[in-house]
A and B are shown apart, each in its own frame.
Chain A
């Protein structure tokens, strides 16, 4: 990925111009309600996304308002991430709103959040009214991503900047209700939450309600999960696709989970198991991962691309089969997928930004990234008092 084609590098100035701050009234471009209030537009490299940023990036738009007011801004080009929790927006994108920062004991609460690609984001928490689709606004803490917040700090160094990110922020709708959970309520050395003065920060505990909240969990009705719906794409790929994110599962006429769908309960790490060959490995689904990352069977002969060490480049597209199961051992059935050449699909076809057949090596997990979601309605159930959530498809 470090050596990828320059055309994959996002022209962030374009998207910044497209989402300047200001007061907004209806209609809100990019926030499509349809007949029901729980339908959110979802796109890969299409409507509401910065053009040609990177492969397999699903994006959505969300309206943010100063709490209790109609001073609002629609923020587009937010990465839809089912692998993280909470809404995070680069501070400069919403600077015009003047969202109030979250404080505790006279200090500003800030967070360091890490991702599977090694990146970190840093910045203060702020309170916002968040509007998903045409749902009622929910007042929750969000993160204003700002690597320059408390510049003299010693924590979370090397945090991401807007110019490097490829999006305006992240809408995290994982199976968890909060981004850290119970562990951050008792230990100040959690590594995520900090209380900051002007010149330095120190680790702090955060009560559950003060952590970044899954905005879906905060909804009055459609609060038990989401459905990701994206159309199928041929192995050779497509420039873009349009789909929907439905809020809630079984709460409306449009989001019932089919009885025949494969249902896999998640364990206490939000994971299940996937076997491609041999022993099953830990697995998760993640729209924020832009490929299928796993350890292929040796017999498949899959090797990485000469110039792209993160991706496979087989001579011809391979069909593989994986078996999913709950961590408890309950079988979830087999699932077929394809791996083609990242170079042939992505580099040799400059217009292609969506492909179901790209993947790379990962030793410890099976990471079912965005390709898993193409052509498949995926139901992602939130944790409840009796479960860690589920994935169904």
Chain B
């Protein structure tokens, strides 16, 4: 059960102490205003390292590019975990994607949708493998392997027309 962790990510040690999975008050995120990304960063003790509005600007490290100019991708990092939040400029966050040795605090990232997610995954597991959890308009996907986990969540009714799900990584 297995990351594209690269040593250059490892070297991005942050001055802020990390508390991945920090609970705290419900902060914004998926389905909320773009400005909520900053509150997420605060809640998850992550540092915003990138805010790109074009594919060219977003292309380095991990491929989280934005194909259309009116959308933005925010990248947050804490230690080895990177979280990208996709928003319509000045609009709402319609997808989040992550990559690292652990999964991020989904209660924070999913915001108001966390309860539906927790309900959908509650109970004994029937199998082990990459998962795709659908709860109403919310889709949460997990994958990866040791040292290198990946995942994303998006709102099917909030993804802008013309956006490719393949680009939401």
Contact = CB atoms under 8 A, between A and B. Distances in A.
A83 B145 contact: yes
Nearest to B107: A157
A19 interface: no
A9 B125 CA distance: 7
A46 interface: no
Given A154-B21, A189-B14, A114 B130 contact: no
Interface string B1-27: 111111101100110111111111000
Contacts of B92: none
B79 interface: yes
Given A118-B151, A188-B17, A189-B18, A112 B102 contact: yes
B19 A202 contact: yes
B132 A157 contact: no
Contact of A270 (B19, B126, B148): B148
- What class of interface size applies to chain A in its complex with B? 35 or more
Interface centre among B103, B123, B145, B148 (most CB of A within 10 A): B145
Interface string B105-138: 1110000000000101101111111111110000
Nearest to B139: A309
Interface stretch (A223-231, A243-251, A255-263, A284-292): A284-292
Interface string A286-313: 1011110100000000000000011000
A120 to B, nearest CB: 7
A1 B125 contact: yes
Contacts of B18: 188-191, 203
Interface stretch (A101-109, A137-145, A233-241, A360-368): A360-368
A154 B79 contact: no
B66 interface: no
Given A2-B133, A154-B19, A286 B1 contact: yes
A183 B10 contact: yes
Given A84-B2, A112-B20, A310 B147 contact: no
A373 to B, nearest CB: 14
Interface of B: 1-7, 9-10, 13-14, 16-24, 45, 78-81, 100-103, 105-107, 118, 120-121, 123-134, 140-151, 166, 169
Given A117-B142, A189-B16, A270-B148, 7 more contacts: A2-B120, A163-B124, A164-B124, A165-B125, A289-B1, A362-B130, A365-B143
